[in-house]
Amino acid sequence: MGERPRTCAACQRVLAAHEVYFRFSLVLEGEQDVLDAPDEADGGHGDALAELVQRLEAGPEDADELEAQVHWERSGVACSECRAVAVRMLTPASENAGPH
């Protein structure tokens, strides 16, 4: 038995055995450098982090849903066309400008 056909993770096209494909691994992680400043009405004495944790615990979202909002990970293969779209989308315009 031969190897199972590969499928592009982006467009779902089945890739022929002779086609070039591209492996990828993508991780998106949410970060925040600074919490919002304490509300002036609070006199700046409130513990903003403790308040945030309390709001999260009281909220309707479960822990898995909250984690999914700050950490997303995928890997797979992409066809040549989808690779070109991804590279174009993730390359800053100044790097991609070329001659005008």
68 found inside a domain: yes
β-sheet bridge partners, residue 23: 77
72 found inside a domain: yes
pTM here is: 0.63
35 found inside a domain: no
Q: What is the pLDDT of residues 21-57, one digit of tens each?
A: 999 999 999 988 876 666 655 555 457 778 877 887 8
21 found inside a domain: yes
State residue 21's pLDDT score: 97
- Which residue range forms the structural domain that includes residue 55? 6-28+48-93
- What is the separation of C-alpha 18 from the centre of its chain, rounded to a whole number of angstroms? 30
State residue 48 phi and psi, 5-degree precision: -60, -40
Lowest mean pLDDT among 15-19, 39-43, 92-96: 39-43
pLDDT at 97 over 70: no
38 found inside a domain: no
98 found inside a domain: no
DSSP-based three-state secondary structure for 14: strand
pLDDT greater at residue 97 or residue 51: 51
Task: Give the contacts of 73 (CB within 8 A, at least 6 positions apart).
Answer: 25, 26, 27, 28
58 found inside a domain: yes
Domains in the chain: how many in total? Answer: 1
